[in-house]
Every structure is written in structure tokens, then in C-alpha cells.
Amino acid sequence: MAGHSKWANIKHRKGAQDAKRAKMFTKVLREINIAVRQGGPDPESNPALRRAIANARGVNMPKDNIQRAIKKASGKDAENYQEVTFEGYGPYGIAFIIETATDNTNRTVGIIRSIFNKNGGELGKTGSLEYVFDRKGVFTIEKEKTAGMDPEELEMELIDGGAEDIETDDEFITVYTDYKDFGLMASKLEELGIEVKNAGLQRIPKTTKTLPLDQAEKILKLAEKFEDEDDVQNVYHNLELTDELMEKLNL
């Protein structure tokens, strides 16, 4: 899994650079909506809601906004968002999985298919590309939030919490778990008093594909087109993010 931290964290750096705060708020609000409707408004008994609240805090959503979103999702007139996943190939044989939260599946299918078709790709059948990715719990922690903690002791605590892999760069600590251990790690980080920038179940490519720089840029532009859609929550692909590509994009 080495090297995947830059793949997992690209959205955080890019989100800040592009000032897409409103878009991030929309995604988190839909995540809260789905979590509340599926598991109730009490975060103590609803792990998905705890995760959504942590993600809301990670994008600096005001506490009042979070509470209003929970209350709204609990009401009888709450918007009915559903999680729908799409799979397909972009150009150059790059696999994509797009997770959406939508109140109109037909609309979203049309949008996703159109983006694929207009950019040299093709929408596939549900489940056709699951084999390309592993589902992992991924926790992104700002390195400064662990200042003062002994690195070796922290690593042992994280392993005790189910960490399969821990990657560190200048800004972030990225912790990977088996998807079944997501709740265990969330509890461990809470016990340690470590604030999480972002947490969720992500799809990590089992193997990646390296492309020439010009082709790789086209893939990332396609990923952006998906991400710019309000219905889209997460976009995953198996493009190798080479150092050369990251440097050119200033990421």
C-alpha cells in the first residue's frame, strides 16, 4: 500500500487550493442526511453519523450547521438521498468507480454516462470493477495534531487500533485499516484525543497504471469533471500518481 497516501490525500490539498468549500459542504451535508436516515440522529449509536460529523469538522463546517443538518435529516420532510455507485473505464484503460448521493437516480445515471461518453470512456455494469480495488478504512490526520506525541508510541497505539499501514508525509499521517476495523480505529483515535481531518471507507487500487504525463493529466481532468457534479461524493481510479505528475500539478 506504500505510496497511496498521496493518492488518498490529493483531494484535501486540491480542495484547499481550488477553494471548493461550498462543494465540500454539499457533500458532507448529503453524507449526514444518509447517515441520519439510515441509523438515526444520535451519533453515539450511529457510527456512520459520527464519521460524517468528523468529516464536517474536517472541512471546517460550523457546529450550528452540523446540528441543523442532523435535525433536518430527522424530519418527515427530509430530502431522500440514496447512495448509488457507478463503474466504468476512462480513456487509456483507467478504471473508475464513482460514488454518488442522489435524490434522482435517473438524472445521475445520465450525467455520469454523458461524462464518460464525452471523454473517451464508457459506463460499465455494477460490480464489474470491484476486483480492481480494495475497500479500506482511511483516516487522514494533520501531522500537527499529533505534536508532542512520541511517534513510536503513537504507531503502537494505531496498530492496536487495527492499522494495517501508516504513511507519513510533511502534512498528513494516513492510517489504513481493513474495512471491518473502521469502527475500532475510530474509537482508538477518539480515545487518544486525536482530531481527524477526514475518515471514511475508500477504494484503494490493488495495482495502478502509469501513463505518459499528457495522458495522465487527461485522466485527472476527467476525475475533476465527475467531482464537480453535485451528486458525486467520491471518485476513485487506478492511475499511478507519479512524482512527476504531482510536481507538475503542484500537489
State the pLDDT at residue 3.
Answer: 47
Q: Which residues of 196-231 are buried (b: 16+ CB within 10 A; e: fewer)?
A: bbbbbebbbbeebbebeeeebebbbebbebbbebeb
- Report residue 113's pLDDT band, with 50, 70 and 90 as the boundaries: very high
Q: Could you check whether 4-74 and 133-204 share the same CATH topology?
A: no
**pLDDT above 70 as % of the chain:** 92
Cβ atoms of 239 and 96 closer than 8 Å: no
Q: What is the pTM of this model?
A: 0.84
Instruction: Domain 133-204: give its CATH architecture.
Output: 2-Layer Sandwich (3.30)
Q: Per-domain residue ranges for the chain?
A: 4-74, 82-132+206-248, 133-204
Mean pLDDT (whole number) for 138-165:
94
Q: What is the SS3 assignment for 229? A: coil
- Check pLDDT > 70 for residue 12: no
- Check pLDDT > 60 for residue 19: no
Q: Give the residue with greater pLDDT, 166 vs 22.
A: 166
Distance CA 58, CA 142 (A): 10
Distance CA 32, CA 224 (A): 23
- Check pLDDT > 70 for residue 103: yes
Could you tell me the CA-to-CA distances from 147 to 55, 196, 240 in Å, in that order?
A: 21, 14, 31
Out of 13-27, 35-49, 184-198, 222-236, least confident range: 13-27
pLDDT digits (tens, 9 = 90+) for 119-138: 999 999 999 999 999 999 99
State the pLDDT at residue 2.
Answer: 46
Distance CA 30, CA 99 (A): 12
List the grid coordinates of 193: 484525543
Average pLDDT, the chain: 89
Per-state percent for the chain, helix, strand, coil, to nearest 5: 50, 25, 25
- Superfamily designation of domain 82-132+206-248: YebC, transcriptional regulation domain (3.30.70.980)
Mean pLDDT (whole number) for 133-161:
93
Burial status of residue 150 (CB atoms within 10 A of its CB: 0-12, 13-18, 19 or more): exposed
- Report residue 150's pLDDT band, with 50, 70 and 90 as the boundaries: very high
Out of 21-25, 86-90, 117-121, least confident range: 21-25
Residue 125 DSSP code: -
The phi, psi pair for 199, rounded to 5°, reads -145, 145
Helices (H) and strands (E) in the chain, counts: 9, 8
Instruction: Domain 4-74: give its CATH architecture.
Output: Orthogonal Bundle (1.10)
State the amino acid at position 17 in one-letter form: Q
